[in-house]
A and B are shown apart, each in its own frame.
Chain A
Amino acid sequence: MPEITLVEAVNLALARAMADDATVLVLGEDVGVDGGVFRATNGLLKRFGKERVLDTPLAENVIAGMSVGLAAQGFRPVAEIQFSGFIYPTIDQLANHASRLRTRTRGRLTCPMVVRSPSGGGIRAVEHHSESPEAMFAHIPGLRVVVPSSPARAYGLLLAAIRDPDPVVFLEPTRLYRASREEVDDDGMALPLDRCFVLREGTDITLVTWGATTKEVLAAADTLAAEGVSAEVIDVATLKPLDTDGVLESVAKTGRCVIVHEAPVTCGVGAEIAARIAERGLVSLLAPIERVAGWDTVMPLYRLEQQYLPSEARILAAVRRVLAYQ
């Protein structure tokens, strides 16, 4: 089994989905000849031809909007939005159409489409290339929002997203695209959506996160282990719908929780997770929940991005406060 990066796993899943199902199409800016600016669609044009891999004009709204039309006609479009900062025009189509076509036609027309986009900071990118917009999509009823955090999960979750009968926003952490390699079996097996993953079992505190910050959180868990603290690490993976039970089970065991994400803290998905713990798991809490997240600021240009992104040090500081709480 080959060891591949996360972006290669995305590519592998796209190829697998296209090979398995002739209705799967890939479309977006530079996805064809160029293979995508991050090479996520590399080789697909050559293998599947220009009727399945479409280089679109530079127009995000119509990329999402034509995907709605294609999906209503029985295709499964997988649209790439080149960078997360340019995903906002798709929100009109996702909120007003993709997410509600099934509801408003009582199932007559449906919208099995995926919008993929790189997301998040940490790669010293130019302005508007480092944002984490997941909460904006998670607020939209009828959408699924998925963020993978490893090559294997990227492969399995993307397959699930493409096969899902409803629209999915799939945000790929740019920082993890080539950060590590992992063996990924191209077995065509999808991972379950709507389910979180326990990345590391522990008993003293629950660390809840997703996407790129799994890296810092796992590092923090290692540091804590060396100090004799057993941290459980949960990768939420599907932010909408949220697997509340998965988080609650862990918090019931540990009694303490820190939530970590890169997006701005206010109205971030962390707030929803904290609210659900407060609603249903309050009695098992031994300490207040803390959130370690991006600040409520404009994403800084890259010289300061490390001061914006949740660091292992910030995570550890929060964990220590939560552990110390009597």
Chain B
Amino acid sequence: MPSAERIEELLETRRDVGATPVARFEIRYSRYLDPKGNPVRPLPDFARDPGELVSLYRGMVLARRFDAKAVALQRTGRLGTFASSLGQEAVSVGVASAMRADDVLLPSFREHGGQLLRGVSPVELLLFWGGDERGSDFAEACEDFPVCVPVGTHAPHAVGVALAFKLRREKRVAACIFGDGATSKGDVAEALNVAGVWNLPAVFLINNNHWAISVPVSQQTAAETLAQKAISAGIEGEQVDGNDVIAVREATARALAKARAGGGPHLIEALTYRLGDHTTADDASRYRSGPDVSAHWAEDPITRLRNYLVAERLWGKTDEEKLLGEVSGAIERAAETYLATPPQGPETIFDYTYERLPKDLVEQREAALGAVQR
């Protein structure tokens, strides 16, 4: 790395002072509650309704309980590899809480909180992570996309969904969440670009948890922010405190309203931190230190909102106990239902490959069933 002076020197020699500036950009960062839960600016309108705040709180607590249960099930051999959202609950909960029921969510694989809020059931999520396709056959939120495992590949889908809304003149928005790692990918850049060109009703949200498995965001890009990736696509970008659910919800709500009104797409970078391992198959101690991670617990989105609610006398010990009891009960019941769900028959491997099964597959299906029966 050249020294700072040397970089300045290089810039000076390259800068043509006679040239005319033709474009200027800025990226803003917003936060309402500091990590202790103290307001740092007047809260947005929706936050005056205690019911709204409590439902955000509940959404995050539910996500955390779900994560804990899923990890426990994995550790005891009753669930496959699982990606926890520990510490990042405010991101997808904030996004989903701002959406309308008939908007479409296109999540990555770490957005359980938002999916649950959208009406995807915890049983469905457990089925998916438990290796059962029925987990993506949502009974509610049935236009939402399933979890997307190939990083960033769902951003182009959001473009298609948003284009469908625009062509049908529906006041609906596609909301797509992906990680910081995904922003390095060409398909994400392509998607942002097309959304910009066609002024589509799409909101893209970067869940910047600072890690892509072992790779820190500093190795992902030389840009100061990920939000500025919007600039090259000609769309608006902004940064929010991704551990402040009020900030995430407010930014998303504004972006959705703009998109719904025909104002085009928007990119929000939510800054958060992955407190857990990448997945249950990962050991994060190989690439980051315990104390570094522990320091980030001070930013915990759930404690932050609770502190605010308690300070405002909107929340007390009995509320907390009641909520925890209710949420734990719901998750436990979901886990029981999941565990009691028998696997699908082997014929289902074949039955959804095409609407009408081609002859080849009819034969293979018979062979597979025969092999099973033997």
Contact = CB atoms under 8 A, between A and B. Distances in A.
Given A106-B136, A106-B137, A108-B138, A66 B359 contact: no
B164 A103 contact: no
A61 B143 contact: no
Nearest to A74: B164
A315 B190 CA distance: 44
B160 A70 contact: yes
Contact of B137 (A65, A74, A105): A105
A142 B150 contact: no
Contacts of A317: none
B156 interface: yes
B355 interface: yes
Nearest to A142: B353
B156 A72 contact: no
A69 B161 contact: yes
B136 A104 contact: yes
B164 to A, nearest CB: 4
B182 to A, nearest CB: 13
B187 A242 contact: no
B161 to A, nearest CB: 4
Contact of B160 (A65, A102, A142): A65
A51 B161 CA distance: 14
B34 interface: no
A266 interface: no
A73 B133 contact: no
- Chain A CB within 10 Å, residue with most, of B133, B146, B191, B352: B352
Nearest to B172: A73
Interface residues of B, number: 41
Given A92-B187, A244-B360, A66 B194 contact: yes
A75 B165 CA distance: 11
Nearest to B349: A103
B340 interface: no
B206 interface: no
B358 A66 contact: no
B158 A69 contact: yes
Contacts of B143: 72-73, 109
A241 B156 contact: no
- Chain B CB within 10 Å, residue with most, of A56, A68, A144, A243: A68
Given A96-B150, A108-B142, A69 B194 contact: no
A232 to B, nearest CB: 21
Interface in B345-368: 348, 352-356, 358-361
Given A61-B190, A108-B142, A242-B360, A73 B160 contact: yes
A241 B358 contact: yes
Interface string B129-141: 0000110111000
Nearest to B139: A108
B190 A62 contact: yes
Given A61-B186, A103-B352, A104-B133, A51 B167 contact: yes
A92 B133 contact: no
A178 to B, nearest CB: 32
B194 A56 contact: yes
B157 A97 contact: yes
Interface in A53-81: 56-57, 59, 61-62, 64-75, 77
Categorize the interface residue count of chain A. 35 or more
A242 B361 CA distance: 11
A144 B354 CA distance: 9
Interface in B162-196: 162-165, 167, 174, 186-187, 190-191, 193-194
A166 to B, nearest CB: 5
Nearest to A64: B156
A206 interface: no
Interface string B100-136: 0000000000000000000000000000000001101
A105 B193 contact: no
B197 interface: yes
B134 A62 contact: no
Contacts of B360: 241-242, 244
Interface string A90-105: 0011001100001111
B82 interface: no
A183 interface: no
Nearest to B187: A61
Contacts of A69: 156-164, 174
Contacts of A241: 358-361
Nearest to A65: B156
A165 to B, nearest CB: 4
Given A70-B160, A104-B146, A65 B354 contact: no
A107 interface: yes
B267 interface: no
A245 interface: yes
Contacts of A104: 133, 136, 146
A194 interface: yes
Contacts of B134: 106
B211 interface: no
Nearest to B192: A62
A188 interface: no
Contacts of B156: 61-62, 64-66, 68-69, 93
B155 interface: yes
- By Cβ-Cβ distance, the 6 closest A-B pairs, closest first, are A69-B160, A65-B156, A73-B164, A241-B358, A66-B160, A62-B190
Interface of B: 133-134, 136-138, 142-143, 145-146, 150, 153, 155-165, 167, 174, 186-187, 190-191, 193-194, 197, 348, 352-356, 358-361
11 contacts: A57-B190, A61-B187, A66-B156, A69-B162, A70-B164, A73-B161, A103-B353, A108-B142, A109-B143, A194-B359, A241-B361
Given A65-B190, A66-B156, A92-B153, 19 more contacts: A61-B187, A66-B160, A66-B194, A69-B162, A72-B160, A73-B165, A75-B167, A89-B186, A93-B156, A102-B355, A103-B352, A103-B353, A104-B133, A106-B348, A108-B136, A109-B145, A142-B353, A241-B358, A241-B359
